[in-house]
């Protein structure tokens, strides 16, 4: 994503600061699918939006990684009834609509349109980042992964938080643009710009598919 759409002064400022260099792409990536649960992918839920295109693109990415045995890790935000109704989770004072994301409810189910397989992992989280308070970093290290392709929702919230924590945890970050979405275009575009400038590479789906397609195939 170019800084040019934000004006020449912005472009000059970021270029002078030395932001936007490409990340290293490792030979052992993982796909982290952030919160593509029904509560976020269907606009009938308070916290949701129609993310059908994002779900479709993410499914294509997952399938492209299968021949090389690329690990897939899904995340879901889910609260106990006590957490959802009480005061223990400070974030829920700010994001009241997310109190509907209760364990076992339809809202926290991974979107069934995604090609989820028995070997895929699931991380349940309470906050925005897929890393905060979870075993994700240890899981990625155990899998031997050095690069993460971050997909999911929302770009301005959990995707951005996950990208920031991923690079701070030592993983190279790639964000396929078609595989992330938000409730509104403004926050979506602004956060893709910031991720590209500071935390990872925002890439086309075609580039992501080519990267995965170039990996050695795993033994049958």
163 touches 175 (CB < 8 A): yes
Residue 67 exposed, middle or buried by CB count within 10 Å (0-12, 13-18, 19+): middle
Q: Which structure tokens are listed for 124?
A: 């349940």
3-state SS class at 125: strand
Structure tokens at 48: 């949701």
User: How would you class 94 by CB atoms within 10 Å of its CB: exposed for 0-12, middle for 13-18, buried for 19 or more?
Assistant: exposed
Q: What is the C-alpha to C-alpha distance for residues 215 and 46, in angstroms, rounded to an integer?
A: 40
Radius of gyration of the chain from its Cα atoms, rounded to whole angstroms: 17
38 within 8 A of 111, measured Cβ to Cβ: yes
Task: State the residue for tokens 């994301």.
Answer: 101
Query: What CA–CA distances, in Å, run from 108 to 22, 32, 121?
Result: 34, 16, 15
**Catalytic residue flag (residue 158):** yes
Token pair of 16, please? 């002078």
The residues assigned a catalytic role are 158
């Amino acid at each position: 994503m170019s800084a040019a759409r934000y004006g020449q002064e912005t472009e000059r400022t970021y270029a002078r600061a030395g932001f936007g260099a490409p990340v290293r792409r490792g030979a052992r990536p993982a796909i982290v699918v952030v919160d593509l649960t029904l509560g976020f992918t269907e606009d009938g839920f308070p916290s949701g939006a129609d993310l059908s295109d994002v779900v479709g693109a993410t499914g294509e990415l997952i399938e492209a990684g299968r021949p090389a045995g690329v690990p897939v890790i899904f995340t879901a935000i889910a609260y106990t009834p006590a957490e959802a109704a009480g005061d223990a989770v400070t974030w829920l004072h700010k994001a009241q609509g997310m109190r509907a994301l209760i364990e076992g409810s339809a809202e926290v189910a991974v979107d069934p349109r995604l090609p989820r397989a028995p070997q895929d992992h699931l991380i349940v989280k309470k906050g925005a980042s897929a890393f905060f308070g979870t075993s994700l970093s240890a899981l990625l290290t155990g899998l031997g992964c050095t690069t993460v392709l971050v997909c999911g929702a929302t770009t301005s919230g959990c995707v951005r938080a996950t990208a920031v924590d991923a690079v701070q945890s030592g993983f190279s970050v790639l964000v396929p643009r078609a595989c992330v979405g938000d409730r509104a275009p403004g926050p979506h575009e602004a956060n893709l710009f910031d991720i590209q400038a500071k935390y990872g590479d925002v890439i086309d789906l075609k580039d992501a598919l080519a990267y995965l397609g170039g990996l050695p195939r795993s033994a049958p």
